[in-house]
Structure 1
Amino acid sequence: MANTGYLLMSISKKLKYNLNHALTDLNITLQQWSVLQQLAHFSQTANQVTANDLATILDMDKPTISAIIKRLTAKNFIYKTKNSHDSRAFDVFLSPAGTDICARAMVISDAVLNQFMAQLSITEKDSLNQILQKLDREDLQ
């Protein structure tokens, strides 16, 4: 039997590759899509988010998140404002163009995932989701 950890890593790698390739049509990377997706989530909850918050949530180091924010700002997908509680920090928001690209990326992401999972039955998809959610709740540290 194959090693479960290896299989999970291999499947994750394939899915990331497919999604990253599909997102090139929008001129964004998978990491940029991750940031946009988080900003869309925070805009729905009316909560402010800083670059440091994003780095923590997405498990990225500060130089990586800073570079992504810089690129997304240059593409006019996001904008920053000074944080009212910490003069060294900036709150990050989706721009209208960012909201549009985020919605388009979601359609692409859903299509890639649907294609990736097409060989599974509905029951298998439900079982897989339940198992993954159970594992995601576990504290593996």
Structure 2
Amino acid sequence: MVFEVLGRIWRLQRALREEAERGLSDIGLGGLEAWLLRVLKLHPYPSEAARRMGLPLPTISHMLRRLEGQGFLERSLDEKDLRRFTFRLTPKGEEALARAEGFMEEALRKRLARLKPEEAQELLRLLEKMEEI
């Protein structure tokens, strides 16, 4: 049962990402890059973002260079530790993130529409319960 649950979660998130990526490609983003923009809003350090996303730091570094080159991010030295860089979204990055979230929300909303309101609430409750440590 464990692998069935994990498989279904994985397939759902993959289907949502693939559907959203149709719109994301129009604004120059991939699904992981959109997710990275979202993570950086709360965790501006590359190592923190990598940890939050469960991706290797070199992968995050490559994505950061690409996003910075496209004007979605700005890099700056951390005022508290000049050995570290922080990243923040530019206005272009903020706009791209808002559009990316819209694409993902639209994809998820289509699937949630298949549920009755009480089923959607139960799904949310169960997911919250599973997240508890």
Once the two structures are superposed, residues 4-40 of structure 1 have per-residue CA deviations (whole angstroms, 9 ceiling, x without a partner) of: 3332232232223222333222220111111111233
Inter-partner Cα distance in structure 2 for 1:110 and 1:7 = 19
Q: Could you tell me how far apart the structure 2 residues matched to 1:49 and 1:61 are?
A: 16
Q: 4+ residue runs of structure 1 moved beyond 3 angstroms?
A: none
Deviations 1:50-73 (A, max 9, x none): 111111111111101101111110
1:120–1:22 Cα change, 3 Å: farther
Q: Cα 1:54–1:4, aligned 2, differ >3 Å: closer, same or farther?
A: closer
Which residue of 2 is the match for residue 32 of structure 1? 33
The aligned counterpart of 2:114 is 119
Which residue of structure 1 aligns with residue 79 of structure 2?
A: 84
Instruction: Give unpaired runs (5+ residues) of structure 1.
Output: 43-47
Q: Does the C-alpha gap of structure 1 residues 109 and 8 become closer, same or farther in structure 2, counting only changes over 3 Å?
A: closer
Task: Give, in whole Å, the separation in 1 of the partners of 2:6 and 2:46.
Answer: 31
Write the letter of the residue equivalent to 1:57.
R
| Residue in 1 that maps onto 2:55 | 60
Q: Structure 2 unaligned segments of length 5 or more: list them.
A: none
1:96–1:136: structure 2 CA closer, same or farther, 3 Å change rule? same
| Count of residues in Structure 1 that have an aligned counterpart in Structure 2 | 132
Range with greater deviation from structure 2 (101-110 or 67-76): 101-110
Q: After the TM superposition, which residues 1-141 of structure 1 pair with which residues of structure 2 at under 5 Å, given as runs?
A: 3-40=4-41, 42=42, 49-138=44-133
Measured after TM superposition, the shift of residue 121 of structure 1 is 1.4
Q: Partners in 2 of 1:8 and 1:71 — Cα distance?
A: 29
Once the 2 structures are TM-superposed, how far is the Cα of residue 130 of structure 1 from its aligned partner? 0.9
Alpha-carbon separation, structure 2, partners of 1:5 and 1:133: 16
Given the two structures, how large is their TM-score scaled by the length of structure 1?
Answer: 0.82
Aligned partners of 1:5, 1:60: CA distance in 2, in Å?
A: 18
Give 3-state SS (helix, strand or coil) of 1:101's partner. Answer: helix
Q: CA RMSD in A?
A: 2.0
CA contact (8 A) 1:51 1:89 kept: no
| Identical columns (%) | 23
